[in-house]
Structures are given as structure tokens and as C-alpha cells.
């Protein structure tokens, strides 16, 4: 048995290629396609390949990727001394090193994490257990120990499960899984329980980096079905505590249902008033009958307004709670806080548009099949559009009816028609509002249940 000169694993004496890191053990001359910007050659003739490496992470037929104390590097197997190319030990440096190495060695394989680093001069013992270099921002350089670690060092605790920290997985390969957590994109290793082996910032640039790295490892990966169960962090809700709004939603639905009845009654009274106005114009109805008919219709509208005011208070409480639940359900990159979701209803001019936008965010981010970021790209908000259009139409009809000067018979007839149409529109608006509330409540309940089911599948965290 002999030691591989690249990964220090024990191999057969007559081996011509390392079965672990795929290193070519036969000497051959460098070819003409060597990478550009090589590092100056070492002046020490006896210096072995891989000098300065703390650990090799990926191995190709000719080149090896790894890192030293303060750099990422690419070593050439047939070139003695240090790396032929160096990159800063930073997030951008890692991306540059990986992209460069992947261009040189598209068929490279990952060196197992239990593999020992290449021994360097003055280091008689190979180092083991060096963790994967993480490109996450702010990560401190990890220096390998200078002595043999005991067997089993660095292994994940038994209670850890694969995929910890994930809110949802988006793509799956034969070994690695791509997904995201509360504030990062990550790549998880099926063979390494616990946190992701690589983290990237939760930004557009971070997603590009995560995707490029994942597809390099898993070119035949498949997208995880979006209708599947999202993968929440098994250690608890991402932000805040989930408080069900189901009871409040039930109160709103009951109150709006009663409102629909009053609106239909008011519409019928205004329709009768139209007939009374016509009779008054023909001289077959008295002014007292005309006045009583109008007062009855206005009285029904008055009861409706009082009930709507009570319902509106409950609605705002429910909307505040539902919007707060979005963060407890893992939604991120929300534009509106729960407080502003309520406040926009009271700001003139702005309340023509902003309440609709806050409700649209609430509806889309509550989608049980959506992750914490991709909810913004979800469709299906057509119900919200119809509900808000009915609300604006109803408001315009009531405002026109209220503004009419009723000192003539034609004005009385116009007022009655506008209020009749306004009440019919209000009834339609109320039905749509019931559908909106029930939809949001159902979506949040389903999303919560899916999170709970996933949490149970991970077991109770220790």
C-alpha cells in the first residue's frame, strides 16, 4: 500500500489513478492548454505538488481545486510547488476559483470531506476533517489542524437531520439538494446531516451563485414539485408566532352575510321608491307617501352602514393578524408591515389603491405551495381584482346618489336609481369579500398544516 500524493489516502502500490480523488499517478508533461496567469514556478526542485494546500475540495484529471490559509487555489498535478492560480479567501474569490476550475475540469469530482489534505513539508501527519469552505458572507477562514484528529471527529450529532435550516427545497439531485432558508440560499448534502454545506446570500446575485454551483454538481437535477410540502426550518417558526385568524374570519363571514340581506332589502325598498316617484309624477301618490318611501329606503341603508362599520373593525383586526402570520409562515421580502396594511385604509387618495395592494400581498404570500420568496411571482389574484373593482364601483354609485339635489322629480328618480344600483353592487361586493376572507384563511391554514407536517417528519429537535 502507498499514499496518494494528492489526497493522502491509502491505495494499491500498482495503482495508476487514485480511486478517491481520481488523481493521475503517472507522470506526463504539461500540455499546451495550461491555464493563463500561472503562478511563478517554485525554485525548490524537491517541493512536492500541492504545497500550501490545507485541503483539496475537487479533483480533475489534471488540476485540483483547494484552499490554503488565506486563499483559494488551483494546483496542477504535474507542477511542483504552490498553486498555479490563486484567488482571495472571500466570497467573490471562491466564485472566481470555482468558475475557473470548472472551465478547466468540467468532469471533476468532489473530494470526500473525510479525505485528508495533501501533506506539506514539515507536516508529518495528514490533516483530516477539514470542513467545506463556505462562501457565506463574513465567514472566517478555517485553518486545518496540524495533527491527526481522532476517528469520528467532525461528524454531525446523531440528532441532526438532513436539510436543517431549510424553508423549502427547489431542486434535487442524486446527492445534493438546492433550497433556501430564512436569509440564505443553500446546498445540502444528503450524506451530511445538519446545516447546508454551502450558503449564499438571499439576493439575486446569491441565487445566481447558488444555481451555478448546484448545476455544476448536479447537471441532471430535477425541480421539486411546487405542490409538494414546503420545507420549513424544523427548529421553529422563522419570525414570530402563528396565531390563527380562523375565528375572526368566521365572524367576518357571518357579519357580511347579514349585511348582504340588509343590502338586498334596501335595494328592494329603493326599487319600490322608484315606483312611488313615478306615481307621484303622475299624481297618483301623495308627497307624504313619497317621503315615507324614501325614508324607509334610507333607513335600511342606515342599518347597513352601522353593520358595515362593526364588520370593518373586525376586518382590520383580522387583516392585521393575517399579515403578521405571513412572517411566522416563512414569507420574506414583504413590502407592507401589518400596521401599514391597516393604516392604508384611512389615508385619503391612497386608500383607492393601497388597501388592494396590501390584500394582494396577503393573498399571494399565504399560498401554501409558495416558498418565502417566489410567492411574489404567483398568480391567481383575479378574485382580488374583481373584489376591489366592485368596491370602487359601489363607492362611486353611492357618492353620486348622495350628491344629487332632489328638488325635482327627475332628481328624485335619479337618486332612487343610483341607490338601487349601489345596493345591488354592494351585495355583489359583499359576496366577493366573503370569498376573499375564506380564501386567505384557508390558504394560511393549509400552509400552517404543511409546515407542521414537515416539522413532524424531521422529528422533535433536541
Q: Is the pLDDT of residue 26 over 70?
A: no
pLDDT value of position 239: 60
The verdict on residue 116 lying in a domain is: no
Whole-number average pLDDT of the chain: 78
Residue-wise pLDDT for 413-434, tens only, equals 999 999 999 999 999 999 999 9
Neighbouring C-alpha atoms within 13 Å toward the C-beta of 128? 13
Average pLDDT for 296-304: 95
pLDDT beyond 80 at 439: yes
Cβ contact 144:117 at 8 Å: yes
Number of Cβ within a 10 Å radius of residue 32: 4
Range of the domain at 180: 168-223
- What average pLDDT does range 148-169 have in this prediction? 58
Tell me: do 216 and 295 sit in the same domain: no
Domain assignment present for residue 155? The answer is: no
Structure confidence at residue 231 as a pLDDT band (50, 70, 90): very low
% of the chain at pLDDT higher than 90: 41
Beta-strand ranges (E) seen in 130-190 are 168-172, 176-180, 184-189
**Cα–Cα distance, 227 to 448 (Å, whole number):** 14
Residue 135 CA to residue 200 CA, distance in Å, equals 6
User: Does residue 128 lie within any of the structural domains?
Assistant: no
| Angle (nearest 5°) at CA 190 between 188 and 194 | 60
Residue 49: pLDDT band (50, 70, 90) is: low
- pLDDT per residue as tens digits for the range 245-275: 999 999 999 999 999 999 999 999 999 999 9
Q: What does the pLDDT average to over 85-92?
A: 88
Cell of 336: 407592507
> Which DSSP helix (H) or strand (E) runs through 58?
strand 55-59
User: 3-class DSSP state for residue 66?
Assistant: strand
Task: Tell me if 236 is assigned to some domain.
Answer: no
Of the candidates 308, 314, 310, the residue with the CA atom closest to the CA atom of residue 261 = 308
- Cβ pair 112, 9 in contact under 8 A: no
- For the cut 90, the answer to whether the pLDDT of residue 227 exceeds it is no
Instruction: Tell me the mean pLDDT in the region 312-319.
Output: 96
Q: Record the cell numbers describing residue 360, joined without a space.
A: 394582494
Task: For residues 330 and 434, state if they share a domain.
Answer: yes
**How many C-beta neighbours within 10 Å does residue 377 have?**
8
**β-pairing verdict for 168-172 and 10-11:** unpaired
CA angle, corner 218, sides to 454 and 117, nearest 5? 100
Residues 317 and 449 placed together within one structural domain of the fold: yes
Question: Which pairing describes strands 222-223 and 198-201: parallel, antiparallel, or unpaired?
Answer: unpaired
**Side-chain half-sphere CA neighbours of 97 within 13 A:** 29
Q: How far apart are CA 39 and CA 44, in angstroms?
A: 14
Q: Greater confidence, 107 or 391?
A: 391
Label residues 71-99 b or e (16+ Cβ within 10 Å = b).
bbbbbbbbbbbbbbbbbebbbebbbebbe
> Which residue has better confidence, 391 or 451?
391
Q: Are 55 and 119 in contact (CB under 8 A)?
A: no
Residue 241: its pLDDT value, please?
84
**What gap in Å lies between CA 231 and CA 297, rounded to an integer?**
55
Please tell me the predicted confidence (pLDDT) of residue 36. Answer: 40
Tell me what pLDDT residue 159 has: 57
Reply yes or no on whether the pLDDT at 45 is more than 90.
no
Q: Are residues 312 and 413 in the same domain?
A: yes
CA dist 413 and 293 (Å) reads 12
* Residue 355 contacts residue 316 (beta carbons within 8 Å): no
* Same domain assignment for residues 253 and 196: no
Q: How many other β-carbons are positioned within 10 Å of the β-carbon of residue 40?
A: 8
Instruction: Enumerate the β-bridge partners of residue 180.
Output: 168, 185
Please tell me which residue, 147 or 188, carries the higher pLDDT value.
188
pLDDT at 137 over 60: no
Average pLDDT over residues 15-21: 71
Q: What angle do CA 336, 332, 135 make, to 5 degrees?
A: 140
Cell 462562501 locates to 135
Helix, strand, coil percent values for the chain (each to nearest 5): 45, 10, 45
Are 291 and 406 part of one and the same domain? Answer: yes
Same domain, yes or no: 53 and 89: yes
Q: Is residue 149 part of a domain?
A: no
Domain boundary among 223, 254, 269: 223
The count of domains in the chain is 3
Question: Is 283 in the same domain as 339?
Answer: yes
Tell me, yes or no, whether 148 lies in a domain: no
Q: What angle do CA 112, 64, 185 make, to 5 degrees?
A: 60
Give the span between the Cα atoms of 93 and 83, in whole angstroms.
14
| 392 and 321 inside one domain | yes
Q: What is the DSSP string of 28-54?
A: ----TTPPSSPPPPPS-TTPPBTTT-S
User: In terms of pLDDT, which residue wins out, 414 or 137?
Assistant: 414
- Based on the domain organization, do 278 and 425 belong to the same domain? yes
Tell me the Cα Rg of the chain. 34
User: Is the same domain home to 190 and 323?
Assistant: no
Tens of pLDDT along 369-388? 877 677 888 776 789 999 99
For residue 401, tell me if it sits in a domain.
yes
Most trustworthy range by pLDDT among 2-6, 41-45, 271-275? 271-275
pLDDT at position 33 is 38
pLDDT at 22: 62
Are 49 and 180 contained in the same domain? no
Nine cell digits for residue 281: 309624477
Instruction: Flag whether pLDDT at 91 surpasses 60.
Output: yes
Residue 117 lies in a domain: no
Pair 57, 110: CB distance under 8 Å: yes
Residue 282 has pLDDT above 50, yes or no: yes
Q: CA quadruple 439, 442, 445, 449: dihedral positive or negative?
A: negative
Helix (H) or strand (E) holding 73: strand 71-76
Amino acid at each position: 500500500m502507498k499514499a496518494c500524493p494528492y489526497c493522502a489516502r491509502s491505495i494499491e502500490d500498482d495503482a495508476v489513478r487514485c480511486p478517491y480523488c481520481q488523481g493521475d499517478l503517472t507522470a506526463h508533461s504539461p500540455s499546451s492548454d495550461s491555464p493563463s496567469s500561472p503562478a511563478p514556478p517554485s525554485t525548490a526542485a524537491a517541493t512536492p505538488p500541492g504545497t500550501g494546500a490545507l485541503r483539496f475540495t475537487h479533483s480533475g484529471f489534471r488540476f485540483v481545486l483547494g484552499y490554503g490559509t488565506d486563499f483559494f487555489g488551483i494546483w496542477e498535478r504535474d507542477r511542483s510547488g504552490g498553486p498555479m492560480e490563486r484567488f482571495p479567501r472571500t466570497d467573490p474569490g471562491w466564485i472566481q476559483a470555482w468558475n475557473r476550475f470548472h472551465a478547466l475540469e468540467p468532469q471533476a469530482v468532489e473530494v470526500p470531506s473525510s479525505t485528508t489534505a495533501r501533506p506539506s513539508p514539515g507536516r508529518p501527519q495528514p490533516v483530516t476533517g477539514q470542513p467545506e469552505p463556505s462562501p457565506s458572507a463574513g465567514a472566517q477562514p478555517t485553518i486545518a489542524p496540524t495533527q491527526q484528529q481522532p476517528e469520528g471527529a467532525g461528524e454531525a450529532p446523531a440528532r441532526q437531520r438532513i436539510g436543517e435550516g431549510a424553508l423549502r427545497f427547489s431542486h434535487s439531485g442524486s446527492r445534493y439538494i438546492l433550497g433556501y432558508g430564512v436569509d440564505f440560499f443553500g446546498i445540502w448534502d444528503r450524506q451530511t446531516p445538519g446545516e447546508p454545506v454551502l450558503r449564499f446570500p438571499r439576493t439575486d446575485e446569491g441565487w445566481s451563485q447558488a444555481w451555478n454551483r448546484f448545476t455544476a454538481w448536479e447537471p441532471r437535477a430535477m425541480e421539486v414539485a411546487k405542490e409538494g410540502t414546503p420545507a420549513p426550518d424544523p427548529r421553529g417558526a422563522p419570525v414570530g408566532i402563528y396565531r390563527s385568524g380562523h375565528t375572526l374570519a368566521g365572524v367576518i363571514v357571518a357579519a357580511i352575510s347579514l349585511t348582504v340581506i340588509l343590502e338586498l332589502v334596501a335595494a328592494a325598498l329603493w326599487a319600490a321608491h322608484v315606483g312611488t316617484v313615478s306615481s307621484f309624477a303622475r299624481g297618483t301618490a301623495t308627497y307624504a307617501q313619497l317621503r315615507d318611501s324614501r325614508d324607509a329606503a334610507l333607513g335600511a341603508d342606515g342599518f347597513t352602514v352601522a353593520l358595515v362599520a362593526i364588520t370593518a373593525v373586525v376586518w382590520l383586526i383580522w387583516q392585521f393578524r393575517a399579515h403578521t402570520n405571513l412572517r411566522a409562515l416563512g414569507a420574506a421580502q414583504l413590502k407592507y408591515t401589518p400596521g401599514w396594511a391597516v393604516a392604508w385604509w384611512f389615508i385619503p387618495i391612497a386608500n383607492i389603491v393601497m388597501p388592494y395592494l396590501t390584500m394582494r400581498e396577503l393573498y399571494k404570500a399565504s399560498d401554501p405551495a409558495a416558498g418565502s420568496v417566489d410567492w411574489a411571482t404567483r398568480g391567481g389574484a383575479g378574485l382580488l381584482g374583481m373584489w376591489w373593482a366592485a368596491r370602487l364601483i359601489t363607492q362611486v354609485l353611492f357618492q353620486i346618489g348622495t350628491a344629487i339635489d332632489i328638488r325635482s322629480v327627475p332628481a328624485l328618480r335619479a337618486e332612487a336609481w343610483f341607490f338601487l344600483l349601489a345596493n345591488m353592487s354592494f351585495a355583489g361586493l359583499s359576496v366577493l369579500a366573503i370569498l376573499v376572507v375564506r380564501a386567505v384563511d384557508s390558504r394560511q391554514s393549509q400552509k400552517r398544516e404543511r409546515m407542521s407536517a414537515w416539522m413532524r417528519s424531521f422529528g422533535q429537535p433536541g
